[in-house]
Amino acid sequence: MESTAHSPSIVRPGALKSSFSVEPLAPTIGAEIGNIDLTSPLDDDQYTALRAALVKHKLLVFRDQDISAAQQVALARRFGELEVHPVFPHHPDHPELVMLGGDSKIPGRENIYHSDVSWRERPSMGSMLRCLECPSVGGDTIWVNMAEAYARLPESTRDALDGLLAVHDLLPAFGTRMSTDERAARRAAFPPAVHPVVRTHPETGERVLYVNEAFTTHLLNYIEKNDVRFGIDFRLAEMDLLQYLYRQAAVPEYQVRLKWRPNTIAFWDNRSTQHYAIQDYFPARRRMLRATVIGDVPV
C-alpha cells in the first residue's frame, strides 16, 4: 500500500534513506533534520522519508528555515488536512495558522503538559510550530515520548489500564477565556470526547499513554473495571490513578528540551507525545505560528 498525505500507512525503516541528515537530540525522542530547504515543496521521496523520521523520532527540528506563512501551510498540508482552531487567534491570511504568544502584559499559558486538541473526536496527528520571535534566554519547549512512558510503567499498572476510557474536554483549559455565551456555544460545538487511556499508534502499533493534565478530566469507566467498597473509594482511587498517569509526562528520561531561535520549526507527532511550553521569559515576547494536522479517532 502506498503512503500518501491523506492515507498514511506504516513507513518501513528503509524509507529513511534521503539526502537530508537526521541527528538524534535525546535517547528517547527528537531529531534535528539538516541539509533540507523547506522553502521548496517536498517531493515524494522527501515526504516519505520525513514521515518515517517523524514516526520514529516523534519530534523533528529544522533550523534556519525562513519560510512564509503560505509556505508553512503548504508544508503542513503535505502531511494531511489542517484544522482551524476554535479559540486561538488566527493568522489574518491563513486561518489554518494559530498565533501563539503573549506580550509584555499577557503571559502565555501553555505551560502544562498536553497533547494538542485531544478534546476533539479526531485529535491532531501532528503540529508544526514555527518561531517568529523569541527571547535570547528562556522560552524553551519540552517534548515527552508517551510510548516510552507507557512501556516503562509497572506491568501491574499496564494491566490495570487495559480497557479504561478517559474524557477529554476543551472547556477546563480554554473556558476562562470565554464569556458565558461563548462557553455555551463551544460546549454545543465541541462536547467532551472519550478516548482510550492507552491508544495504539496507527503507523507503528506502539501503545501510548494518552491522558494529559490540560484536557483529560476523568476516567469514564473506572468503577466498571475496579472493585470498590464505597463511593469515596471510587472517587479517590480514580483521582489517584489519573494523577499518577499525569505525572509520567514529567519524567526527564522520556524528554527532550528545545532552545528556540527565530526560523526554527518543530514538527511533532501528537499521537505519541506531550509537550510543555516553559513560561520563564515574561515579560519578553515569544511569537509562534502553528499549523495542526488532523488525525484519526484513537483506538
List residues with catalytic annotation. Answer: 114, 116, 275, 290
Strand segments (E) across 66-192:
97-100, 124-133, 141-145, 165-168
What distance in Å separates the CA atoms of residue 293 and residue 127, rounded to the nearest whole number? Answer: 6
Count CB neighbours of 4 within 10 A. 13
What distance in Å separates the CA atoms of residue 11 and residue 245, rounded to the nearest whole number? Answer: 30
> Which has the closest alpha carbon to 8: 298, 290, 295?
295
- Site of grid cell 483549559: 173
Question: Is the separation of the CB atoms in 173 and 57 below 8 Å?
Answer: no
Q: How far is CA 149 from the centre of its chain?
A: 15
